[in-house]
Amino acid sequence: MTPTATRNQGRVDALLARMTLREKIGQMTQPEKNSATPDDVRAHALGSVISGGGGNPEPNTPEAWRAMVLGFREAARESRLGIPLLYGVDAVHGHNNVVGATVFPHNVGLGAIGDPDLVRRVARATAREVAATGVRWTFAPAVSIPVDVRWGRTYEGYGQDPELVGRLAAAYVEGLRGVDWASPDALLPSVKHFLADGAARHGTSTRWDRAAVKSLSDDPTLANAHLAADFLEVLDRGAWTIDQGDVDVDERTMREVFLAPYRAALAAGALNVMASYGSWHGLRMHEHRHLLTDVLKGELSFEGFVVSDWAAIDQLDPDYEACVERSVNAGIDMVMVPFDWRRFMDALEAAVERGAVPLARIDDAVRRILVAKERLGLFDGADEPELEPPLDVVGHPDHRRIAHEAARRSPVLLKNRGEALPLPPTLPALLVAGAAADDVGLQCGGWTVSWMGAAGPITPGTTLLQGLRRWLPDTELMVEPDGRGSARAPAGLVVVAEEPYAEGMGDRHDLDLPAVDVSLIERVRARVDTLVLVVYSGRPVVLGAAAQLADAIVAAWLPGSEGAAVAEPLVGASGFEATLRTRWPIRSADLPLHPFGAEPHAGARPLFEIGQGLRTAPWSDATTPA
């Protein structure tokens, strides 16, 4: 053990010896910012506070974020022992809750590129923007491997290749750390969701009792997120049928496929892991002592701490006290209790006093949390406001250039009949159809400003249409969001997009392209000689007739705030280079479609296979532009 490690461990042990049971439990408690005040942090020695999806200050500016977070941090310093606080956010593709921050492509797009150096740079830029607002913890990266792409969190994963997922997750952890964990611009990653969250089977989620839910007000989480009133209609389309469901793979598959990326992320130095809502053969991960303690902390020698997901322990048992006992005894160290955090503290204190939870388990959990804070330099002033990055790094041009590069490189060219792409610079006219061609919100997807995201100009950014205008200055752009004009054009470009969603709200029974999009494609097809289809989505979608109608098909994923970059490979300013990392289905009936052993639909074949992706050369490298 190094002298620094010895000193740090000694400081943690000395602090533990001075803490009351209630103060220890305070360190294990993580409320949402709308349910706790700085005074609560000061009085109860709370270890962490979070902003849930959409848990933003008013106004939603970098300045307001910093003031809000510093208020909580300063209160923690004023508690009896002055233990620093860790503020956490879901910065899953940039500091995406903050209006004006750089929004990077979601992981599905970064996985298509497969470049660890780029992922490392994305993470470094994210860390600096987040740290500038006083936050030192992000609930990322997801090392999810989606088995069934109907899952609403598919876009949070890099793909269906465990080796690739591990390699990129390690790079992301390294990027968040930067020079050292104790640097003022280092960001604590939360590797999630342990274990196999992407392997849940369709129809096994028990998150919602569809017969009992009558309105959004029935659930505090959804009410807190200010979801639209069409929630019941989304339930009918398949929301919450996969997410938080059951995993039934055998232990060999669990280890070789789903555990493997965690090994890589922990080897890169990750100090925090988030448990999954789901279950394995019926036993919830939040009470799975074998996986959390024996495997993660024992076999993998994980020395960091495990945090629960949002109110996840509540699902373990109708008896809340049993939920608390079983989750903490299984190995959960910090509990995310967004609403009634006092209830949690009281329940855990009572459990310790009656011997249901050993004091040694409490001490182990708190020691792990304090060691992580120590490693982040919080006890040594690494969170002094004047040392952290200045607020002008939020949305900085250097970061937007990285996001631009990622958005430019991530589209996958799936089809290119007759060399329809790249579009020639001499093209006299181009019909551009689809509202998504000029919509920042649609190209960013979920987890953008709010939990679900939304269409429209929700944050500063550039769009595909702006990129086309830049790169085709001599081409007449016939812009028709609904494609209902009558004039013909030599080429047409239709942009369709999934509506923004997050988590189980994005689960679906099928992934068929909506009829309104198919009709749009058909209308444009009738008026052009060459048709290019661009799809903004968090996963492969079933194209149906559109697969034949289009001469070229581009999976542009969810490119983030710098959507103008998507135009570059389309017009030949750069080449297509990305490849599929997930199987692309022909029919929804063939799902799930994956490379992990037997599939439920005999003879099902993908429309496009993992590894597919056509390449093109930019016009500057071509001998004769077509």
Rounded to 5 degrees, φ, ψ at 144 are -65, 140
| Residue whose entry in the numeric block shows the structure tokens 């990027």 | 175
In this structure, what DSSP letter does residue 452 have? S
To 5 degrees, how large is the angle CA 117–CA 610–CA 252? 90
Element (H, E) at 89: strand 86-89
As a residue count, the chain comes to 626
Calpha distance 157→248 (Å, rounded): 20
Whether the Cβ atoms of residue 552 and residue 416 lie closer than 8 Å to each other: yes
In this structure, what DSSP letter does residue 390 have? P
In this structure, what DSSP letter does residue 208 have? -
Closest CA to 122 of 99, 135, 145, 138: 138
Instruction: State which amino acid sits at residue 476.
Output: E
Which residues are CB-neighbours of 568 under 8 A, at least 6 positions away? 408, 467, 471, 574
Instruction: State which amino acid sits at residue 258.
Output: F
Closest CA to 565 of 608, 540, 528, 534: 534
Calpha distance 102→12 (Å, rounded): 37
> Which pair of structure tokens corresponds to residue 424?
């020639």
CB atoms within 10 A of CB 306: 26
Calpha distance 493→128 (Å, rounded): 37
Strand partners, 493: 432, 532
Which residues are CB-neighbours of 376 under 8 A, at least 6 positions away? 86, 136, 181, 182, 186, 188, 271, 382, 383
Element (H, E) at 475: none
> Which pair of structure tokens corresponds to residue 77?
């310093």
CB atoms within 10 A of CB 495: 29
The single residue of 174, 243, 503, 562 carrying the catalytic annotation is 503
Whether the Cβ atoms of residue 172 and residue 123 lie closer than 8 Å to each other: yes
DSSP E strand boundaries for 124-196: 137-138, 188-189, 191-194
Closest CA to 483 of 532, 547, 527: 527
Q: Is residue 503 annotated as a catalytic residue, yes or no?
A: yes
DSSP E strand boundaries for 303-358: 305-307, 335-336
> Which pair of structure tokens corresponds to residue 24?
């220890």
In this structure, what DSSP letter does residue 296 have? I
Q: How many helices (H) and strands (E) does the chain have?
A: 21, 20
Calpha distance 504→244 (Å, rounded): 8
Q: At what angle do helices 359-375 and 3-18 cross, to 10 degrees?
A: 130
Q: Is residue 498 annotated as a catalytic residue, yes or no?
A: no
Calpha distance 493→532 (Å, rounded): 5
Closest CA to 311 of 214, 244, 231, 234: 244
Whether the Cβ atoms of residue 410 and residue 608 lie closer than 8 Å to each other: no
Give the residue numbers marked as catalytic.
Answer: 309, 503
